[in-house]
Amino acid sequence: MIKCGVMFAAALTLAACATGSGAARPFEDPAVQKLYNLSTPLYYATIKVANDVARGCDRYRYDAMLDAELNEKRNEVGRGSLSAIPLRVAIETETGVSERSFAAKHNVELNGGDLCAAADAETLEGTALSALLVPV
């Protein structure tokens, strides 16, 4: 009986953790809509750069929940991870272009630099990339 109660409590705890609060921004947010509507190569380039920015600034974290939710929605319309496999070369090319563009736009290095000012600027502009950055 106690064993059953402990398992039930553990299941409830796991369910609460799994549901969490969800993404930091709603799907209707303009920045989220910009991100959702990107082409597949640009979408994956943007999430890569957003990850790099979040790692380079301790004032922001990457919104993995939003990433997962958007991927699911994009898969429903044929633009998510399921469609990305044959576009690998295009995604790699676009990622390189996006990384260089971001670095030039903000006069920063994505690897090893302080990216907080760039993250702040993206957030103020309401860019697609900013949808994935959550202030801590």
Whose structure tokens read 């709603």? 26
Number of Cβ atoms within 10 Å of the Cβ of 35: 25
Task: Report the share of the chain in percent with pLDDT over 70.
Answer: 85
Q: Is residue 4 part of a domain?
A: no
Q: Let me know if residue 16 belongs to a domain.
A: no
Check whether 92 has a pLDDT greater than 70. yes
- What pLDDT is stored for residue 80 in this prediction? 86
Q: Is residue 59 part of a domain?
A: yes
Residue 77 domain boundaries: 22-135
Taking a C-beta distance cutoff of 8 angstroms, is the pair 47, 133 a contact?
no
Rounded Cα distance, 20 and 63, in Å: 13
| 15 within domain boundaries | no
Asked whether residue 68 is assigned to any structural domain, the reply reads yes
The whole-angstrom separation of Cα 24 and Cα 64 is 10
Higher pLDDT, 107 or 18: 107
Q: What is the pLDDT of residue 98?
A: 97
Q: Tell me if 82 is assigned to some domain.
A: yes
As a whole number, mean pLDDT of residues 39-61 equals 96
Each residue's pLDDT tens digit, 10-35: 333 333 344 456 888 999 999 999 99
d(CA 33, CA 21): 20
Q: pTM above the 0.85 mark? A: no
For residue 99, being part of any structural domain is answered with yes
| Per-residue model confidence (pLDDT) at position 12 | 32
Residue 71 has pLDDT above 70, yes or no: yes
The whole-number average pLDDT for the span 75-101 is 93
Q: How many domains does the chain have?
A: 1
- Is residue 13 included in any domain, yes or no? no
